[in-house]
Amino acid sequence: MDQPIGVIDSGVGGLTVARELMRQLPKEQLIYLGDTIRCPYGPRPEAEVVQFTLEMVEFLQKKQIKLLVIACNTATAFTIDLLRERLSIPIIGVIQPGARAAIKVTKTKTIAVIGTDGTIGSKAYPKALKQISSDLTIYDLACPQFVPIVESGHFSPEAAKHVVEQSLKPITNLRGLDTLILGCTHYPLLAEPIKQVMGANVEIISSGEEAAREVSALLSYQALAYRGNRLAKHFFYTTGSPELFEQIANRWMDYPVQHVENIVIDQSLVEKNKSF
Amino acid sequence: MDQPIGVIDSGVGGLTVARELMRQLPKEQLIYLGDTIRCPYGPRPEAEVVQFTLEMVEFLQKKQIKLLVIACNTATAFTIDLLRERLSIPIIGVIQPGARAAIKVTKTKTIAVIGTDGTIGSKAYPKALKQISSDLTIYDLACPQFVPIVESGHFSPEAAKHVVEQSLKPITNLRGLDTLILGCTHYPLLAEPIKQVMGANVEIISSGEEAAREVSALLSYQALAYRGNRLAKHFFYTTGSPELFEQIANRWMDYPVQHVENIVIDQSLVEKNKSF
């Protein structure tokens, strides 16, 4: 099928999912929308996250997407059930793929999850994990300082290492812990310091990478994959500054992110949230 | 949903898939059928593999399975499209999950596949890989000696190492190769010597392990997962000797494989093939 895959995120973090989608599914076209101006979603109340996400989805639906990826853990936690009821296309969040991958990987059945306040508060990961297997020890920890570092677009390795070290203290040296889920799509951009702090015995699961793997599977099972031969072109939209988006994106992506378009989803909301 | 998952294989190799299903989905009940008396499928003509597989599926359908796993690469290569047309339940083979996982893992975009004569001759892996990404270098190699070693139930590590070394010669030291797909569910039982021969720079993908991961995802997306709390009990059937099946199974499985039942699928076929 020739239609694009839609990807939404609260900002640039979902680009880690987009990067994996491009790598794992080079023939599939993406339309990415980052709600940069209202980022971060993590500390916002549930009702607001739901409203913002629905607005983003409305924009992508006009682009005739064949599948939606919610590349934001907070938005997944609060909206995936609702969106699955409302939309007829398949919807893939980042929480269940991360949970399934962690269960595949862990040998000690001891798993930790880090994420935003919203994601951790929702208990979406422990719920998803326990639904598959009752026999797990699960730790979770909110790391509210990580997203602002990444979205700022400039952080020194030393500063990042320091923040990561301080934030992860409660889960370093936990007995038997062998698997850590990065329950926020911004966190793979801090993967290096996180790996250093957690040590070589803890396997790091990127929920975004795993979501891309499941998109690949679902496209196939639902006969939605593009069957021809092409190297796909992608389109990027942001509710914030296209220049900053391009700057940050091109620092991580192999694909040249150009011609990013600014879109205004809801002027009143944008005004209201400028000071956020 | 309280119904079981059906798993078929040409013999005991599919138990590597069953083991992963039990580990990754401890609440889901399995019904396993191994066509041991007609094993191996690898050297058989396509029409025969199709007929045998359909007979096994017929047996499992009477058990009200909610999802079918074709835990045999040869049977997957020859029957998955046909079965997807005929059955209304989801069907997961082992080839596409292995292909998707290899694409996720490879950095050099250079992948090798080993399997039976039937699987390699069908070109099912190269087809599945190229359908997702055109930009891959793919090597494939039939290793017809591996299945008989495993099904015999007794092999010394030294003898296995020798056979593996000889068989894999054409793909050792290939430039840029970083990913090897075990395109036969028997092969994970030879994972140790295979790893030794291929070296630390080649990641080994077990197509069965990846199939289990996709079963987990598909149960969730199709709302077919068991939602209660239980540690599932499983049932095992073989067309061959229950004693030999139990012996081999209990050497590898954490789950105690007991009360294996012998079933006769088609007496005339059984007679005809006893000398095979």
> B193-245: per-residue pLDDT in tens?
999 999 999 999 998 889 999 999 999 999 999 998 888 999 999 999 999 99
Indicate if A24 and A117 belong to the same structural domain.
no
Torsion of CA B179, B182, B187, B190, to 10 degrees: 0
Check CB contact under 8 Å for B104 and A213. Answer: yes
What's chain B's average pLDDT? 92
Indicate if A243 and A203 belong to the same structural domain.
no
B74 labeled part of a ligand binding site = yes
Q: What is the DSSP letter of A182?
A: E
* pLDDT at residue number A176: 95
Nearest to B24 among A26, A104, A209 (CB): A104
Indicate if A37 and A122 belong to the same structural domain.
no
DSSP B167-211: HHGGGTT-TT--EEEE-STTGGGGHHHHHHHH-TTSEEEEHHHHH
Q: Which residue type occupies A235?
A: F
Check CB contact under 8 Å for B209 and A133. Answer: no
Q: Determine the Cα angle at A104 with ends A101 and A108, to 5°.
A: 115
- DSSP E strands in chain B: the ranges are 5-9, 30-34, 67-70, 91-92, 110-115, 137-142, 179-182, 203-206, 235-238, 261-262
> Does any CB of chain A come closer than 8 Å to the CB of residue B209?
yes
Question: Which domain CATH number covers B184?
Answer: 3.40.50.1860
Indicate if A217 and A88 belong to the same structural domain.
yes
B20 SS3 class: helix
* Half-sphere exposure (Cβ direction) of B231: Cα atoms closer than 13 Å: 4
A166-170, A272-276, B111-115, B175-179: segment of lowest average pLDDT: A272-276
Helix B124-132 and helix B95-105: axis angle, to 10°?
Answer: 50
Among residues A239, A226, A236, A232, the alpha carbon closest in space to that of A66 is found at: A226
Indicate if A217 and A201 belong to the same structural domain.
no
Among residues B56, B75, B74, B158, the alpha carbon closest in space to that of B119 is found at: B74
What's chain A's average pLDDT? 92
Q: Determine the Cα angle at A67 with ends A65 and A71, to 5°.
A: 105
> CA-CA distance, B234 to B236, in Å (whole number)?
7
- pLDDT category at B276 given cuts 50, 70, 90 is very low
Indicate if A30 and A132 belong to the same structural domain.
no
* pLDDT at residue number A149: 87
Indicate if B184 and B235 belong to the same structural domain.
no
Q: Which residue type occupies A153?
A: G
Q: Which residue type occupies A215?
A: V
Residue pLDDT, tens place only, A4-58: 999 999 999 899 999 999 999 999 999 999 999 998 898 899 999 999 999 999 9
Indicate if B199 and B101 belong to the same structural domain.
yes
* pLDDT at residue number B274: 47
CB contacts of A25 in chain B (<8 Å) are: 132-133
Among residues B234, B240, B226, B224, the alpha carbon closest in space to that of B259 is found at: B234
Termini Cα distance of chain A: 40
A131 SS3 class: helix
Contacts of A37 (CB under 8 A, 6+ apart): A238, A239, A240, A270, A273, A274
Q: Is residue B270 predicted with pLDDT exceeding 70?
A: no
* pLDDT at residue number B175: 92
Q: Which of A188, A207, A226 is the last residue of a domain?
A: A207
Q: Is residue B122 predicted with pLDDT exceeding 80?
A: yes
Domain span including residue A172: 95-207
Q: Which residue of A has its CA nearest to B219?
A: A132
> CA-CA distance, A25 to A9, in Å (whole number)?
19
* pLDDT at residue number A266: 65
- pLDDT category at B150 given cuts 50, 70, 90 is confident
Q: Is residue A268 predicted with pLDDT exceeding 70?
A: no
Among residues A86, A82, A78, the alpha carbon closest in space to that of A61 is found at: A86
Q: Is residue B271 predicted with pLDDT exceeding 90?
A: no
Nearest to A100 among B100, B209, B217 (CB): B217
- pLDDT category at A99 given cuts 50, 70, 90 is very high
Interface test with B, best of A92, A220, A226 (most B CBs within 10 A): A220
Q: Which of B159, B179, B209 is the last residue of a domain?
A: B209
Which helix or strand (DSSP H or E) is residue A32 part of? strand A30-34
* pLDDT at residue number A270: 45
* pLDDT at residue number A275: 39
B13 labeled part of a ligand binding site = no
* pLDDT at residue number B156: 87
> CA-CA distance, B249 to B204, in Å (whole number)?
23
Instruction: Provide the phi-psi class of A199: left if phi over 0, else alpha when psi is between -120 and 50, else beta.
Output: left
Q: What is the DSSP letter of A138?
A: E
DSSP A43-89: TS-HHHHHHHHHHHHHHHHTTT-SEEEE--HHHHHHHHHHHHHH-SS
Indicate if B89 and B215 belong to the same structural domain.
yes
Instruction: State the pairing for strand pair A261-262/A235-238.
Output: parallel
Indicate if B139 and B151 belong to the same structural domain.
yes
* pLDDT at residue number B34: 96
Q: What is the DSSP letter of A152?
A: H
B41 labeled part of a ligand binding site = yes
Q: Is residue A210 predicted with pLDDT exceeding 50?
A: yes
Helix B95-105 and helix A15-24: axis angle, to 10°?
Answer: 120
What value does the mean pLDDT take over residues A78-86?
95
A108 labeled part of a ligand binding site = no
Residue pointed to by tokens 């494939």: B140
The total number of structural domains in chain A stands at 2
**Residue positions counted in chain B:** 276
Indicate if A57 and A105 belong to the same structural domain.
no
From B156's Cα to the closest Cα of chain A, the distance in A is 27
Q: Which of A207, A229, A264 is the last residue of a domain?
A: A207
Nearest to A100 among B27, B103, B216 (CB): B216
Indicate if A87 and A99 belong to the same structural domain.
no
